[in-house]
Structure 1
Amino acid sequence: MMQNSIVARQPILNRKKETVAYELLFRSLSKDEFDGSQATAEVLTSSLDLIGLDNLTRGKQAFINFTAELIKSEIAELLPQQKIGIEILEDVSVDHEIIKCSKNIKAAGHILLLDDFVYQKELIPLIEIADIIKIDFLQTTGRERKYIMELIKKKHNPEAKFLAEKIENYEEFKTAYEMGYDYFQGYFFTRPDTISTRKIPSYKFNYLEVINELNSLEPDFKKLSKIIKNDLSMSYSLLRTINAAIYGYQVSSIQQAAALLGINKLKKWALLYFIKGLSEDKPGALFTNTLIRAKMAELLAKNINQADKSSEYYTVGMLSMLDAYLDRPLENIVKELSLTDEVKKAVLNLDGKMGEILKLIILYEQARWSELEKIEIKYHLDNELLAGVYQEAIDSASETVEKIIR
């Protein structure tokens, strides 16, 4: 069955920087002419039926944009209660019917959000019942952001929560946090905090040594095993990985484990644990998003006749967000790693095939569909395949996170 849509998810973080929900952004693949509400309804129902809501959100809530027509159509009644947040778009004209239907949506158990909120008197009936009000930080000033919160809490809805959206960097996150915002959405968690810079912790240099040795022309397994043996956590991690990877085969020697796992899987293991170790004071969404990026790159490599380089594509995906972990310019970090020119150009400049696939993945994350389409066409990537790769990457990332936590 052909899939009628593809979907990207963008995390919503709370004040502890924990992911509590995802906004789902859909793109219809139908070539037929529909009006906005028909197209959105078709995309919404087919996506949730074919992909599965829990597969996308892993049990967290999903926030979905609703047009005026969709609000009036009562399609919300078909969606799972307690799991779906209905975002009323900013261009919805508020009338008696919209207010009545919005109250019904709220009564049915759905979370009600006001998207791209700008204060207007005609919105007061919706403000009074809204659970979350989203303030666009690109379209508002500091005074407006604070004033809107105080006005609504004092006059209309003291229970309302506020979501700061389009938060692009840590400075904006800290500003919103200090103002008292409850939730945050944007790319701030994928970008470095330029206020402070972190060095790689000394105890993580063992991981760097392993990565550099694995990227040399002729990796030396004796040298690798010596480095790993000097670090108890690395030794335990590698042995646990190899015993899980090879069914029914127990390994006790570090050198044997390294040889059995092989260069490509060792690279993946070393990168995974290196980056996980750096993520201790970062939002969990950053680590999850890094894993999704890396897995998508690896899978897409196999679909553009680059299967022999799939491990390098995985590496590109992992390293592309390293600046956010270390709060340092990516070009400075890459200098410390033994990498091929092809990988360096991909990570730093989005150059070459690897770079273009990385760019495609970033555009997908941001739901920039029109720009994404150009790369899809160039590499003959059909939409159904791309949606499948994204879902497989989400599944893989969730499985990895669960294993590490366990």
Structure 2
Amino acid sequence: MTDTQPETAAPAGADASNLVVLARQAILDEQRAVFGYELFDRSTSGSPHTAASDAALLFNALSYAGTEALGGNKTVFINCTHESLAGPHLELIHPEKVVLEVPILDASATPEQIAQQLPVLQQLRTLGFRIAFSQDVLRRAYASWLPLASFVKLDLQAFRPELTEPLVKFAQAHSQARLVAEKVETAEQHERVAALGVKLFQGYWFARPALVQAQTIRPAQATILQLIDMVRKHADVAQIEQLLKRDPTLSFNLLRFINSSGFGLSVEITSFRHAVMILGLKKLFRWAALLLTTSRGSGSPPAVGQTAVVRGRLMELLAAELLPPEECDNAFVVGVFSMLDSMLGVPLAAALETVALPQTVVDALLHGQGVFAPFLELTRACESGDDEAFARAAQALHLSNHQVNWAHLQALAWAETLESGQ
């Protein structure tokens, strides 16, 4: 359920843990028709004028806010951080629907640092994404970035009025980018930039940001974990379809996501089987993992989900050193499921009754016994900072400090790629 309204604080009494609040502001063409919308995240910001800009905004927009509420098939402008530009969440969206607003580096950036960002930006263009920069890209230091610009946004509050004409003429002469005048607050400003040939406009003179509020419908985290496990084991489409049918909220979120404007499909998908086949196992895994790390269970913080994912990956990497490949998947499950009690707010034994698991996994989780138990003990020791427990657990598995520390770093990095800077 979504609704759009003028920008205000979230409703008093709304459950903040289940409310996605996105602000959108229209970008208009010269006929004052809507060309697209810029999105801002208002779910967690301390001030209604402070926008969070990362993968969470894009994922929440696609997963929880209805397509019509976000503007139907209009172009969506998303503010990005440089850290999030290489994230796997971008694999989940259709580049034709999205413009990535990329910030200029801070004033202390060296020419080398500016040049280092160029391959990432070039890769985004190769993938089909359009990039928007602020007027700062017109500075000499960013000459290598300018040819990659599809849009240059001129913030009319950021420079003196007499600089408008030279900036517009420079951009028109040295790039193919479409110019967007933003923070247009008066008729005089609009007339001035329009006379110079600017054809896209954004600002309070036309429309203030409006809130798009969506009450999230979150599937059971245990089911998400089961879906991740099935995908990792390359289960066939029929098995995955049966899981989706057993959890209406999970299937609802998947269909809403795949039918969102950001995914770029021209027809509506109503079949679970069709959705899985179109998404593919790789993207289905990304979607499920992001859903896990952004969801909550019984008031548990999102960090619990991320910690569980790190545990799973670390268990898998450690097991790969000593166990057959087919056992590594079960090691992953032990690590992730070891925090089910925290995520679901129920005793671990009760949580495990909701999923069918190999006995070796249950033994490790409930009884601290079996082949996976020492790996779980070592994984917990990595988190605790207890040097003695760490040394004891590593020695029991005949693993060196270097092996364990390297695996832990890899697991943390892997979890970061799933969240892409959340």
TM-score bracket for the superposition, by shorter chain length: 0.3 to 0.5
When the two structures are superposed, what TM-score results if normalisation uses the length of structure 2? 0.40
Q: Which of 1 and 2 has higher RCO (CA within 8 Å, sep 6+)?
A: 2
When the two structures are superposed, what TM-score results if normalisation uses the length of structure 1? 0.42
